[in-house]
Structure 1
Amino acid sequence: MTLFKSLVGATALAATLIAASASAEGYPERNITMVVPFAAGGPTDTVARLVAESMSKDLGQQVLVENVGGAGGTLGAGRVASSEPDGYTILLHHIGMATSATLYRKLAYDTLNAFDYVGLVTEVPMTIVARKDFEPTDLKGMVEYVKANKDKVTVANAGIGAASHLCGMLFMSQIETPLVTVPYKGTGPAMTDLLGGQVDIMCDQTTNTTKQIQGGTIKAYAVTSPARLDVLPDVPTATEGGLADFQVGIWHGVYTPKGTPADAIAKLNASLKKALKDENVVARFAELGTTPSADADVTPEALKAKLESEIGRWKPVIEAAGQYAD
Structure 2
Amino acid sequence: MNIKTLRYVAGLALVVGTMAHAQSNYPSKTITMIVPFAAGGPTDTVARLIAQSMTKTLNQQVIVENVAGAGGTIGAARVARSDPDGHTLFLHHIGHSTAPTLYRKLTYNSIDSFEPIGLVTDVPMTIVARKDMPAKDFKELLSYLKANKTKVTYANAGVGSASHLCGMLFMTAIDTELTTVPYKGTGPAMNDLLGGQVDFMCDQTTNTTSQIKSGKIKAYAVTTKTRVPSLSDIPTANEAGLPNFEIAVWHGLYAPKGTPKPVVDKVASALQTALKDTTVKQRFGELGTEPVAAERATPEALRTFLKVEIDKWSPIIKKAGVYAD
Deviations, residues 138-172 of structure 1 (Å, cap 9, x unaligned): 22222232123222221111211221111101101
Task: Give the 3-state SS of the residue equivalent to 1:160 in structure 2.
Answer: coil
Q: Distance in 1 between matches of 2:304 and 2:21?
A: 32
Task: Give the 3-state SS of the residue equivalent to 1:65 in structure 2.
Answer: strand
**Bigger shift: residues 311-320 or 286-295:** 311-320
Deviations, residues 56-112 of structure 1 (Å, cap 9, x unaligned): 100001111111111111010000001111111110111111111111111010111
Q: Distance in 2 between matches of 1:98 and 1:190?
A: 22
In the other structure, the counterpart of 2:41 is 42
**How do residues 94-105 of structure 1 correspond to structure 2 at under 5 angstroms?**
94-105=93-104
In the other structure, the counterpart of 2:136 is 137
**Offset of 1:34 from its aligned partner?**
0.6
Amino acid at match of 1:23: A
Contact 1:139–1:222 (CA under 8 A) maintained in structure 2: yes
**Bigger shift: residues 249-258 or 310-319:** 310-319
Q: Distance in 1 between matches of 2:24 and 2:315?
A: 45
In the other structure, the counterpart of 1:128 is 127
**Bigger shift: residues 288-297 or 128-137:** 128-137
In the other structure, the counterpart of 2:5 is 6
Amino acid at match of 1:118: I
Q: Distance in 2 between matches of 1:278 and 1:88?
A: 22
Q: Distance in 2 between matches of 1:268 and 1:96?
A: 22
**Offset of 1:189 from its aligned partner?**
2.4
Task: Give the 3-state SS of the residue equivalent to 1:251 in structure 2.
Answer: strand
Task: Give the 3-state SS of the residue equivalent to 1:239 in structure 2.
Answer: helix
Q: Distance in 2 between matches of 1:4 and 1:113?
A: 39
In the other structure, the counterpart of 1:30 is 29
In the other structure, the counterpart of 1:288 is 287
In the other structure, the counterpart of 1:307 is 306
**Bigger shift: residues 133-142 or 163-172:** 133-142
Structure 1: stretches of 5+ with no match in the other structure: none
In the other structure, the counterpart of 1:112 is 111
In the other structure, the counterpart of 1:62 is 61
Contact 1:173–1:317 (CA under 8 A) maintained in structure 2: no
Amino acid at match of 1:226: K
Task: Give the 3-state SS of the residue equivalent to 1:210 in structure 2.
Answer: helix
In the other structure, the counterpart of 1:248 is 247
Contact 2:68–2:184 (CA under 8 A) maintained in structure 1: no
Q: Distance in 1 between matches of 2:29 and 2:252?
A: 22
In the other structure, the counterpart of 1:264 is 263
Task: Give the 3-state SS of the residue equivalent to 2:240 in structure 1.
Answer: coil
In the other structure, the counterpart of 1:74 is 73
TM-score using structure 2 length: 0.97
Task: Give the 3-state SS of the residue equivalent to 1:219 in structure 2.
Answer: strand
Task: Give the 3-state SS of the residue equivalent to 1:276 in structure 2.
Answer: helix
Amino acid at match of 2:247: V
Task: Give the 3-state SS of the residue equivalent to 1:259 in structure 2.
Answer: coil
Task: Give the 3-state SS of the residue equivalent to 1:240 in structure 2.
Answer: helix
In the other structure, the counterpart of 1:320 is 319
In the other structure, the counterpart of 1:174 is 173
Contact 1:276–1:292 (CA under 8 A) maintained in structure 2: yes
Deviations, residues 177-198 of structure 1 (Å, cap 9, x unaligned): 2111111222222112222222
In the other structure, the counterpart of 1:226 is 225
1:15 equivalent in alignment to 2:14: yes
Task: Give the 3-state SS of the residue equivalent to 2:218 in structure 1.
Answer: strand
TM-score using structure 1 length: 0.97
Q: Distance in 2 between matches of 1:185 and 1:260?
A: 30
1:160 equivalent in alignment to 2:159: yes
Amino acid at match of 1:120: L
**How do residues 188-199 of structure 1 correspond to structure 2 at under 5 angstroms?**
188-199=187-198
1:236 equivalent in alignment to 2:235: yes
Task: Give the 3-state SS of the residue equivalent to 1:46 in structure 2.
Answer: helix
**Offset of 1:294 from its aligned partner?**
0.9
Computed over aligned residues only, the root mean square deviation of the Cα atoms, in angstroms, reads: 1.2
**Offset of 1:48 from its aligned partner?**
0.4
**Bigger shift: residues 311-320 or 231-240:** 311-320
Contact 2:37–2:184 (CA under 8 A) maintained in structure 1: no
Q: How many residues align?
A: 325
Contact 1:36–1:91 (CA under 8 A) maintained in structure 2: yes
**Bigger shift: residues 206-215 or 3-12:** 3-12
